[in-house]
Amino acid sequence: MVHIKKVDIFGFKSFGFKNTSINFEPGLVSISGPNGSGKSNILDAIVFAMGENKARVMRQPNLRSLIHDIDGNRHGPKLTRVRVQFDNSDRKIPVDSDTVTITREMNDKGESVYHMDSKKINRNRILDIFEVANANLSPLNAVQQGTVTRISEMSSEEKRKTIEDLVGLSYFDEKKTESLKQLTEADQRLEVAMAKMGEVKKQIDELEVERNLKLRYEFIGRELDRFRAIDAAEKLREIKSEKTVKEEKYNNDSSETERLEKLRSTLRDEISKIDKEKSAFATKVNAFNQAKSDIDKGLSTEQEKFNDADGQIKTSKKRFTLIEKRLPDITSELEKMSQNQGTVDSELEEVKRSIQKIKGKQNIINKKIENNDSKIKSVLDHQSELACKKNVIDKKIQVLQDELHNATMEKSQAASQTNTIENKINDNTRKHEATDNELTNLKQFSDKLSKASSDKHSREIELKMLKLSEQRKKIENDIVELELILDKSSKAGHRYNEKIKLVKDVMHEDYTISQLKGDAKKLGIVGFVYEVFSWNKQYERAVLAACADWIKAVIVPDFETLVSLAQVARNKRLPKLKIIPLNAIPEFRMKMPKTPGLLGILSDCVKCDREYLPIARFLFGNIILAQTGKDAHQLSKAGYKAVSINGEFFESKTNAVTIDINSKISKFAKIISQSSTVEGLLQTITLLRNHVQKKKSNLKKIEEKQRYLMKQLQVSETERGNASHSHSTLQSQIKSRTNMLDKLSQRISELKMQEKHCHPRIIRISSSIESLKQRISLMRENYSDVAQTSVASELSFLNKKKSSLNSEGSQILKELSETEANISVVEDRRRLRKKALLDEQTSITGEKTELESNITKSQAEKNASEKNLIELRGKEQELISTSGTSVSKLAGFDEQLDERRNKEKKITADVNRLAIELGELERDLKEIKTKESSLKKILNAFGFDESIETFDVEPSIEILEKEESSLAASLNAIAPQRYVEVSTGYHSMSSRKNELEAERNAVVSFIEGIEKNKRQTFLDAFDTVDNEIREIFTKMNGGNAWLELENEDDIFNAGISYFIQVPNKPKRESTSISGGEKTLAAVVFVLALQRLKPSPFYLFDEIDAHLDAPNAESLAKIVEERSKGSQFIMVSLKDSVVEKAKLIYGVYPKNGVSHVVTYKDKRLPAMVT
């Protein structure tokens, strides 16, 4: 359980600049001391450390005033520091530590620094941590001075608001506000959706018009197509006739074309014959041309060969020149390499010698490693010998340790056995006590059964039956009398009306009494003066003369009731009222003057109950009763109020007299209370009749009760027999429990004897354990670990040395590998370079030889080609000289050919003309066939053929085309599609609207759920507080207290009424009771509210200051009972609180500084801290 363990105070308010430490414990802790000692400052220090920043809560004007200011001569900075340590063993505070320390330090500028377990932290973090542990600084957890007074003056709305704040109803209000915002948004979305749907609906109407126009346009198109089909049928007939004419013309042209083709064929045969003759002659001419062509080809080929050979010779010579330049370079480089061979060999020899040296070092290192390994082996052998010796000693120690373990186990078993015996003793003791209590209860129950088995109950039932018989007779007599009264009252109705009018107009007090008498108990009215007093007939005139109007005054118990009754009278606008509070009448005793003719004080002549004696003294205690009027007048002159026995009343020192001759106390109040008019009288008569009926029904009930009591009497007799039997059974149980008590006592004695035997055994085993421990210690001392430690250190040294040698050997091996690698690299590089040079020398030498042979071969080819060129050019000149005579023969053949070709051209022109005509006719026929096919397709598309009836459709087509063109100008081609899309979208929007409505309804349902949960949460909290108030108030003074909702239908706009009913007093609201009762009610209210949000600790600052001793005692008991589950730190001056506290602190001032003393155990002296 989280609780305050310790508080350290330095320089805080009345605590000086010396650290004051106060330790606390769970349960009830009392802090007491004289007024002004600073006891409340301890609680202020705790709330200060926990983050309280309101100076008025700590009873100061500002935070800087919290710093101790008595020690004005203090050097150094002025500051205050409070450290509070909390027990956190159950981890309710979210810190992983058994204790949590909060420190707050404030300088003289009012700047505060917070620390948690020496770590700096901000105030909000501290408040959050304590909020998690339900230990925050609420006014109900830390109840300061004056809080109870403020709570006692709370209005009904403030009481309701307090409960709301405690159970956190603001959470529901926030949820509701958020939900209302969502509802507003949902309504807006719904409005937007509805607006959009309106726009879309308008758009649908527009699109519907456009769609209809589009459909009309399509209909016109279909009609036009039909009319055009009819027109096509007419045109088809025309095209067919045209087709027939053109086919005839085409056949004629085809015949003429065939004739001309035959003639042209003859001409072409002749042309072909002449061409052959010409070709024969041309063949001869071509032989010469062919020879010339062959010579030209030969010349070209030989010239090409000559050029290739010449180019090859030039290229080979250039390469040959480069090779001759490179060969001397290669030869010189090889010679240099041969000359440098000795130097390279000497370098290689030097490297090989260094390798030999490295290998020598490697052998030395290997020998050192072998020597080191032999030493390690000898050390390990020595270590094995030492280990064998240690094992022998360890075995002996293990034997002793086993014995020690067995002895320890035996001791543990003995201790466990002792604990078991003690537990058994405790269990048997508890059983003994429980059996003893049970035996006591059985005996008490046996006594009750003994009483039950008596015939007392039967006698009581018989007495009840006797009383019921008397009631029955009385009711029967009442019924007879009431029926008589009803008869007479009906006759006196008119007279009754006059009396009522008179009373209302004149007798104000009787009217007021009649109005209040019905609610007398509810209003707290004890009675009226004329009802509680009586007197002898001889004093009647004197009493009535002296009392005057006070005889009809209202009597109330206290001044609070007087105030509330006066308010009721004002609210009801009653004419006149006199009220006397019983507890406000002062004590008064009058001394009688020594004058003859006196009969005594008038109050002694009035008779009343003891509780009303103060009223008698108030009205008559200062009035002297005299024998005659003259005596009374003399007393008046002497300064006394006096009245004669004949009713002559004189005020003090006046000459006026009040004479009562024959007045009477009117009973009109009773009449007025029954009715105020004749109608009221008739209603009263009706009520009386109903009353008679009730009397008759009561008579029947009494008869039923008599029958019931008769049955009860029979049952009682039966129960009496059962009780006798149960009593005998109980006696046997009592005997059995008595025997069990004896056995338990015997068993407890035996267990105590066993416990006595166990203690010596534990002592003996403990001695044996000590002996074994000493032996083990001696053996460990005798066996020294120095040798083994030396061996271990030597072994460690050798291992380190071995590691060093291995590292050195690895380094040498690495150096050897690198040197050998360098030798290989040098040899390989020299060898490869020499090989490359030799290969290059061999290659270019071979290439030089090959080039020489190529140059020789190319020169021979060049010479041969040059010789052939000379021969071919001679042959070419011979052919040119013999080709001049063939030109004239070829011209004759050309003339014949021209004549025939001209004829052919003329015929060909005619054929071409006819071909053109035939082509045109073919095209026309083709077009006609196409049109025919198209027209047939049009006809087939509409389901018609050539036989369709035709008519003139041009006018219809013209009209429809105009309408079509007029529609086309304003036509929306996609209107049908858009109409479908928008309609579909409208349906989707309608679905969305339904979804939005469902969403809105869900939000409304959620808000209703929030309201319901809020109401239920509040009602649960209200029931908790109400039950706590009832229970606590009953425990404190035996009275009753409860809460009532002013308006159950609207609980959050109404308040909570807090009713109190102190024993022997009527119920009143908490705002209209006395000051002490208000304090009691407020304390009970605070304790009840704490049940809503329990805290691990509470701070109470003199909340019992205004409680009387019995109520303070009851409060102390309740706080003590509650402190079993929480820590209560309570500042109080009441003995009852101090007696119940587990830990008591006293605070006293000395030199302006508060000091604290602790009183934890009443048997120990006080100890100053």
pLDDT tens-digit map of 446-469:
776 666 555 666 677 778 778 888
DSSP for 812-836, please give it: HHHHHHHHHHHHHHHHHHHHHHHHH
Question: Which fold would CATH assign to domain 508-665?
Answer: Alpha-Beta Plaits (3.30.70)
List C-alpha distances in Å: 1044 to 558, 1022, 1055: 25, 9, 9
Highest CATH level, class, for 1-138+1097-1169: alpha beta
Q: What percent of the chain has pLDDT over 70?
A: 81
CA nearest to 677, candidates 830, 502, 506: 502
Asked if the model's pLDDT at residue 20 lies above 60, the reply is yes
pTM check: above 0.75: no
pLDDT tens-digit map of 367-386:
887 887 787 777 767 766 77
Provide the pLDDT for residue 116.
Answer: 92
Residue 506 pLDDT class (50, 70, 90 cuts): very low
User: Please, which residues have CB within 8 angstroms of residue 1134's CB and are 6 or more apart in sequence?
Assistant: 1104, 1107, 1109, 1112, 1116
List C-alpha distances in Å: 730 to 106, 435, 444, 619: 72, 14, 10, 64
Provide the pLDDT for residue 618.
Answer: 81
Provide the pLDDT for residue 31.
Answer: 92
Mean pLDDT of 960-987: 76
Q: Residue 770 CB: number of other CB atoms within 10 A?
A: 11
Helices and strands (DSSP H and E) totals, the chain:
24, 26
3-state SS, one letter per residue, for 188-243: HHHHHHHHHHHHHHHHHHHHHHHHHHHHHHHHHHHHHHHHHHHHHHHHHHHHHHHH
Distance CA 88, CA 94 (A): 9
597: left (phi over 0), alpha (psi -120 to 50) or beta: left
Output phi, psi for 1154, to 5 deg.
-80, 140
| Residue 415, helix vs strand vs coil | helix
Asked if the model's pLDDT at residue 1129 lies above 70, the reply is yes
Amino acid sitting at position 323: I
Mean pLDDT of the residues in the chain: 77
Residue with more model confidence, 1166 or 842: 842
- In the DSSP assignment, the letter for residue 1164 is S
Q: Which of 490-499, 996-1005, 1121-1130 has the lowest mean pLDDT?
A: 490-499
Domain positions in the chain:
1-138+1097-1169, 508-665
Provide the pLDDT for residue 1169.
Answer: 44
Q: Which of 355-369, 558-572, 879-893, 1085-1099 has the lowest mean pLDDT?
A: 879-893
Distance CA 404, CA 770 (A): 9
Q: What is the largest CA-CA distance in the chain?
A: 217
Q: CA dihedral defined by 767, 770, 771, 776, rounded to 10 degrees?
A: 160
Structure tokens at 999: 């969403």
